[in-house]
Amino acid sequence: MKAIVTLLSGLLFGIGLAYSEMTNPAVVIGFLDITGNWNPSLLFVMASAIIVGILGYQIQKRRKQPFFSDTWSLPTRQDISAPLIIGSILFGIGWGLSGYCPGPGLTAMVNNPTEGITFVIALILGSALFQFQTKLQSK
């Protein structure tokens, strides 16, 4: 049942990305271009995501355990660290330059294979570099 719910959640997420045009880099870059030809349409996408997140946390507060698991898996850190800030900056720069974040980047492998594959390769290399750097720091 957990696998089915995960699959359906992923499909719903993908449909939402496509419907909201978050898979279109031109729309995303238009949203990020606040000094030029700004496209505010993604504000509705973000507001919808915040509402869903708030509803999710309300459900979590009222239930002792999730529907398809024994325990909740929630973030425990509440501090703002240098890696969080640096990662956020790098994510924003990458999103602004390419118009893709990871979800839409994966869909681009089908919609726009040249850009999508390049983005996913860069995503994998960046993740591997982070893992390598983290292992070096922990030694």
Q: Both tokens of residue 89?
A: 């900056």
pLDDT above 80 for 43:
yes
Q: What's the first-to-final CA gap in the chain, in angstroms? A: 40
pLDDT tens-digit map of 117-128: 999 999 899 889
User: What's the whole-number mean pLDDT along residues 45-54?
Assistant: 92
Helix/strand/coil (H/E/C) assignment for every residue in 31-65: HHCCCCCCCCCHHHHHHHHHHHHHHHHHHHHHCCC
Q: Are the C-beta atoms of residues 43 and 30 closer than 8 Å to each other?
A: no
Q: How far apart are CA 130 and CA 95, in angstroms?
A: 17
pLDDT tens-digit map of 56-80: 999 999 999 988 888 888 888 899 9
pLDDT tens-digit map of 4-16: 988 999 889 888 8
Domains in the chain: boundaries: 2-138
Q: What is the pTM of this model?
A: 0.68
